[in-house]
Chains A and B, each alone.
Chain A
Amino acid sequence: MTATAESPAAELGRARTRKEDARLITGQTSWTDNMTLPGMLHMAFLRSPYAHAKITSVDVSGAKSMPGVVAAFSGADFAEEQGSLPCAWPVTPDIIIPPHPPMATEEVRYVGEAVAVVVARDRYTAADAIASIDVSYEPLEPVLDMKTALDESSPKVHETGNLSYDFVFPTAGDIDAAFSGADVVVEREFRQQRLIPTAMEPRAVVASWLGDDVTLWSATQIPHVLRFAIAAFFGIPEQSIRVVAPDVGGGFGSKLQVTAEEVLAVLISRRIGKPVKWTESRSEGNMTVHHGRDQWQRIGIAADRDGRIRGLKVDLLADMGAYLMLVTPGVPLLGAFMFPAIYKMDAYSFRCRGIFTTKMPTDAYRGAGRPEATFAIERIMDELAVELGMDPLELRERNWIKHEEFPYSTIAGLVYDSGNYEAATARSKELFGYDALRAEQAERNSRADSVRLGIGISTFTEMCGLAPSRVLGSLAYGAGGWEHAAIRMLPTGKVEVVTGSSAHGQGHETAWSQIVADHLGVPFEDIKVLHGDTQVAPKGMDTYGSRSLAVGGMALVGACDKVIEKGKRVAAHMMEASVDDLEFVGGRFQVRGDPEQGRSIQEVSLATFAAHDLPEGVEPSLDSDATYDPDNFSFPHGTHLCAVEVDTETGMVKIRSYVAVDDVGKVVNPLIVEGQVHGGLAQGIAQALYEEAVYDDAGNLLTTTMADYLIPSAMDLPSYVTDRTETPAATRLGVKGVGEAGTIASTPAVVNAIVDALRPLGVSEVVMPCSPERVWRAIEAARGSAAGASASAADGGGVTGSTVGHAATASDIAGSDGGAA
């Protein structure tokens, strides 16, 4: 049944303002921290001041005796029931997944790890009482540098050593031949700094038991995964657990987690028989919300003199932090698929080692593995272009997959279903004024302008719409990648839509209404979208990996189809017509060739509710649900161009213009799509210029506040020029993901622009974040070295760049053995 394809597409593509906004702009919100329950108590955690130490004793008696304190516990008090926080992604058969108790019992392994908890009448009393807990530690050596963590002499984070896993991707093609036969080999080592995701809403949790049943409200992206995890790993029957994600103030991956505080709230509330709440402070959050990125990336590219890429080798060190959390080990491996990006090549190898350090665990942060890959490939494409003396756009064009070559099987084993890199690049160049800016750059370079102009390019793609379940299975991931939707046809003709994708700013209520309005022919205003409560939306895989529309949207279309199928039988009976003679057009079941004869879906809905005269064998309900498992990922792409002005005397970088032309396939709501691109750009630019989680030599996090960790303000970001090309994905909706594209694309565009500006001065690398100091030091270092020689930034721990004319030094980059995938 494909009648919906014939319906007028009134809503899809329309820039509807959002349904969500009415509450949010008037303060009628349901943030978890807003919640108050009768008898509710407040939790506060005492956290480790040491990066690595043995706990020799914990005495909570001082806190317990304070007025207003109801209870105080150490990790030992929950040793029998707190278990271990789950890791759902054992990426290799021999991966080390150390125990991760929600509250430390014997040893602490990062600053901020929970050691004890106070439960008190109010949040001030709880915070006061924390100071009265007495903990004795025996300090141990911290492990802070991934590069030396694997040395024999290094202290160990866990007894099993500091290597969690060594993952080798199945090598494609003859990598040694590609490198030994190439005219040019370029090698680089790039640093992906550690980032703090920083959703504006801090984490908050409320847990409440009623008999044997528990309700957990949490500022989470993943109510369904969380419910499953609590059941599977903490011994509470799944049917007794309700998880609610009320209004959630942003996530960006940071709320894709099963946290210590969520688990402990459930256990502590059960122990004391009262509802408990915990809301983190920002400094607590910076220390203990999982961090993102943090990799050393060694990458080598081999090419012919005419620019054709022969091979690519990647060898990563990825900082896991102290423990493996929900998808910690898998994040860098998502990049394994994406280093080859949009380019054709003969051979590819990838290796990644996951390293333990005494820092906060890393995990998914907007883009999760793909920004890292995109940065490295787009940076080294610029370096290769320099080595070949080619325009960097021309080099890209020579190697990218042509639009007529789709679907295309990539060297990394993906099948890109669609794309048109030529169209996006042409549009981007036009909006940017590429040729004029290149001319201005040449003129300014010729007179040695003290403020240099640089042009940065990022012709990116990414994989999202996570994910085909069979692929997840082949990667040893612990769950599937489907999504669920349900439609409930109400007697009055209104519609309830239930989605398993839990929104936290993405605008599902609006976009889902648009899809259903079109497919069922009901007014946009008559549709209510429900999500984020496992009692209301019992099935789902939640929101991350730019999956909601590409996967959840398709589930919704499937549910609409079923409603129409059911409605058709009722309508045929009402009209005394044959089901086969009916078509569904614009919300009406009508006789083909005689559109006057028809019944609206609302009339059919009421008749079905009344159930007085239904055809035999038809149940009195049009309600339907559908679960969609994608066949493939979705592959948004685009061309981003960035122009920067770099003051060579101060190191200050100013983004002069930023053009983003994205291809996210068909668009449901252009207003929402543009907003997602804007926000993505901001976070990608922030990685390039501003943000870095910094630990000192003792393992203390120095960037615990927003004064130290530089979330950019409106003054720190440019105005963006955005546009789209539209190459539909090979699915019925034709949509691709958009949530992460801007973040993935923009970081290399900015850094490429900075390096391009400074290349005449001999600079070939600036370490992120490209602060004025780092840019200035890179310039000074280049000035200090021989004229014309390539130079590298002085700080940042030894990032090196080298360019060699043949293959000899590239052979040690990545192994070429068969993989463990």
Chain B
Amino acid sequence: MTQIKMTVDGVSYADEVEPRLLLVHYLRDVLGKTGTPIGCDTSNCGACTVLMDGVSVKSCSVLAVQADGTEITTIEGLANGELHPLQKAFNTEHALQCGYCTPGMILASADLLRDNPHPSDEEIREGLEGNLCRCTGYENIVRAVRRAAQAGAGQ
């Protein structure tokens, strides 16, 4: 067992974990942060995306011990008093149906807009290539990210 410390959605935690424990299982099973779902085992789908020190990572492909000392933001901690512009835009543009990919899609979009506050539609599609959605056909996700960008989500 290994001692780790990290801040998740503004709360600091210290735990003893198995070195093989995945970050997503640490979040879900140890901390009860079930807002972050798991969609695959191979880091293809991106449903489990969280921000690690502000950068998007697929938490199924990060060991909890690798996240030692970092600051993690999950979908549960993205709203800051009011909904994040991306959360609002996903609702406004009907960019989710079942909602399973949504946490990862929103956090990947947050990272995308941090890099590129005013992406073209093509750049949005390219930036979200690592996040799969089976419901929406992506059209409304692109619209939502565009709307959030216009609302200044990347600044």
Residues of A near any B CB (own CB < 8 A): 17-18, 20-29, 31, 33-34, 36, 122-124, 198-202, 247-250, 252, 281-283, 504-507, 671-672, 674-676, 678-683, 705-707, 711, 713-715, 717, 719-720, 742
Contact = CB atoms under 8 A, between A and B. Distances in A.
Contacts of A25: 75, 83, 87, 90-91, 96, 99, 102, 106
Interface of B: 18, 20-21, 25, 28-29, 32-42, 44-45, 47, 74-76, 78-79, 83, 87, 90-92, 94, 96-103, 106, 121, 124-126, 128-142
Contact of A679 (B38, B79, B135): B135
Contact of B18 (A18, A24, A124, A680): A124
A207 B142 CA distance: 39
B98 A201 contact: yes
Given A18-B91, A25-B106, A707 B100 contact: no
Given A21-B96, A201-B39, A675-B136, A124 B125 contact: no
Contacts of B92: 17
Given A679-B97, A715-B129, A705 B41 contact: yes
Contacts of A26: 35, 75-76, 78-79, 83, 87
Contacts of A717: 137-138
Which of B41, B42, B47, B139 is the most central at the interface, judged by chain A CB atoms within 10 Å of its CB? B139
Contacts of A676: 97
Contacts of B137: 678-682, 717, 720, 742
A506 B140 CA distance: 15
A25 B86 CA distance: 9
B87 to A, nearest CB: 4
B50 to A, nearest CB: 10
A648 to B, nearest CB: 24
A713 B129 contact: yes
Contacts of A505: 97-99, 135
A714 B100 contact: no
A198 B134 contact: yes
A525 B129 CA distance: 36
Contact of A283 (B35, B41, B83, B121): B41
Choose among B34, B97, B136 the residue with the greatest number of A CB atoms under 10 Å from its CB.
Answer: B97
B35 A714 contact: no
A125 B112 CA distance: 37
Contacts of B36: 27
B94 A282 contact: no
B35 A21 contact: no
A681 B138 CA distance: 11
A272 to B, nearest CB: 21
A371 B44 CA distance: 27
A613 B86 CA distance: 53
Contact of B42 (A27, A31, A282): A282
A248 B99 CA distance: 9
Contacts of A680: 137
A29 B103 CA distance: 11
A200 B130 contact: no
A28 B90 CA distance: 15
A20 to B, nearest CB: 7
Contact of B136 (A29, A282, A678): A678
A681 to B, nearest CB: 5
Contacts of B121: 719
A132 B22 CA distance: 23
Contact of A707 (B44, B83, B90): B44
Contacts of B47: 200
Contacts of B132: 200, 706, 711, 713
A167 B41 CA distance: 41
Given A23-B99, A26-B87, 16 more contacts: A25-B96, A26-B35, A26-B78, A27-B76, A33-B38, A36-B32, A200-B45, A200-B134, A250-B100, A674-B94, A675-B94, A706-B45, A713-B132, A713-B138, A714-B131, A719-B139
Contacts of A683: 134
A706 B44 CA distance: 6
Contacts of B99: 20-21, 23-25, 29, 247, 249, 505
B2 to A, nearest CB: 15
Contact of A711 (B90, B134, B140, B141): B134
Contacts of A17: 91-92, 94
Nearest to B86: A25
Residue of B75, B83, B124 most packed against chain A (CB within 10 A): B75
B17 to A, nearest CB: 11
5 contacts: A25-B91, A27-B35, A33-B34, A200-B134, A682-B136
> Which of A21, A124, A505 counts the most chain B CB atoms within 10 A?
A21
B80 to A, nearest CB: 12
Nearest to A505: B98
A659 to B, nearest CB: 13
A675 B134 contact: no
A250 B137 CA distance: 13
The residue among B44, B92, B141 with the most chain A CB atoms within 10 A of its own CB is: B44
Contact of B35 (A28, A122, A672, A715): A28
B98 A199 contact: yes
Contacts of A678: 136-140
Contacts of B37: 29, 31, 33, 201, 249
A505 B95 CA distance: 11
